[in-house]
Amino acid sequence: MKPKVYIYGLCDVFYDGYYIKGLNEIFENIQFSVSKFPEFAQGTFAFIIEDDNGEVQNLIIDSKDSSQIDRKALEWCSVYGKVNYNIENLETSDKAKIIAIGPSFGIQIWNLLETVYHLVLNFSRFRDSISHKREFIANYWRQYKRFALKKYKNDLSSGNYVFFMNSIWKQEPETNKNRALFIESCKDNTKVSFEGGFAARKDGNNLGLDDLVYSERISLAVYLKKIKKSAFVFNTPAVLSCHGWKLAEFLALGKAIITTSHYNILPADLLDNKHVLYVNNSKDIKEAIDKLTTNVDLRRKLELESREYFNKYLAPQKVITRLLEKI
């Protein structure tokens, strides 16, 4: 006999397919269920591990942008893995259960036939419990439209080509400001061949950043190809000061990363001049760009170390393993 794993059937397979992959890499007997769980909100990623002796462990992975804790989920579980882990929002008693697992990103875990199979099966089994049926269905399709994790690998970067594409957030002025500084610094540097800018907002209100908007709309495939080629990339906390998907993607791709400081805790510190280059202002950004366009050895070292960090702390199987070790 081998352990049985039950995944909460109303989970968000778009956001949390990453962790389903991690479970599939460790366990063989995995099922979706609703009856074995409390009445969690749709989108909660909860799972149960039941061993041969009937002993049960309850686990939660919270990948939400907010650093707030789901109190109901916390009370239910043995271990609570939190992407955006911030001790300022925790009571002392909470800390025993919660661990920082770092950022993840959307990946494809099922091919088209598998996606349709799981969608039809889970929708028919759990439809009476699904509060947002269109969202439930859409998330299976969104999962399929992403790339498999194996697509995120180290490719040889360019010497001076830099690509950047990011959103303008209405409620995140600091994020917008930092991204604008990076775009402007790249455009001002004669050694950099820059492409990109902000993606235009659908409502047409680009919050005064119209001069930095990139006119083209590009597919995910083109975006990934250009990021792989880019000599270096830029990261800054995004919505609600979260670890955005891009940080995890950049680490998986083994990119040389220029980044502002992180608000939330990582599973292990990203070290300045080892894993990333940290910046605080326009002057820092310009200096980091100069370093990475002139110092090939530094760029290659950052590329190797960023991928190594991903492999050690953020790969799906590693995240699940760390949760199991916490039990």
What does the pLDDT look like over 121-144, one tens digit per residue? 999 999 999 999 999 999 999 999
Residues 3-26 as b/e (b if ≥16 CB within 10 A, e otherwise) read bbbbbbbbbbbbbbbbbbbbbeee
The domain that holds 192 is classified in CATH as 3.40.50.2000
Domain membership of residue 253 (yes or no) is yes
Q: Specify whether the CB–CB gap between 277 and 302 falls below 8 A.
A: yes
Residue 85 has what DSSP assignment?
Answer: B
Give the number of domains in the chain: 2
- Domain span at residue 167? 161-314
Domain membership of residue 289 (yes or no) is yes
Domain membership of residue 237 (yes or no) is yes
195 and 239 within one domain: yes
Tell me how far apart the alpha carbons of residues 292 and 309 are, in angstroms, rounded to a whole number. Answer: 20
Q: What is the pLDDT of residue 215?
A: 81
Strand 56-62, strand 79-82: pairing: parallel
166 and 307 within one domain: yes
Domain membership of residue 93 (yes or no) is yes
171 and 258 within one domain: yes
The position carrying tokens 């799906």 is 316
Q: What is the pLDDT of residue 291?
A: 96
Question: What's the predicted TM-score (pTM) here?
Answer: 0.96
168 and 137 within one domain: no
185 and 120 within one domain: no
141 and 18 within one domain: yes
188 and 141 within one domain: no
Per-residue pLDDT of the chain in tens (327 residues, 90 and over written 9)? 589 999 999 999 999 999 999 999 999 999 999 999 999 999 999 999 998 888 999 999 999 999 999 999 999 999 999 999 998 867 777 788 999 999 999 999 999 999 999 999 999 999 999 999 999 999 999 999 999 999 999 888 988 999 999 999 999 999 999 999 999 999 999 999 999 999 999 898 989 999 999 988 899 999 999 999 999 999 999 999 999 999 999 999 999 999 999 999 999 999 999 999 999 999 999 999 999 999 999 999 999 999 999 999 999 999 999 999 998
Domain membership of residue 152 (yes or no) is no
213 and 82 within one domain: no
Tell me how far apart the alpha carbons of residues 283 and 277 are, in angstroms, rounded to a whole number. Answer: 13
Domain membership of residue 153 (yes or no) is no
Q: What's the number of CA atoms in the CB half-sphere (13 Å) around residue 218?
A: 20
Domain membership of residue 204 (yes or no) is yes
250 and 192 within one domain: yes
Domain membership of residue 256 (yes or no) is yes
139 and 60 within one domain: yes
165 and 120 within one domain: no
DSSP code per residue over 207-266: TT-GGGB------HHHHHHHHHH-S-EEE---GGG---HHHHHHHHTT--EEEPPPSSB-
Closest CA to 220 of 183, 165, 180: 165
Tell me how far apart the alpha carbons of residues 252 and 290 are, in angstroms, rounded to a whole number. Answer: 24
139 and 192 within one domain: no
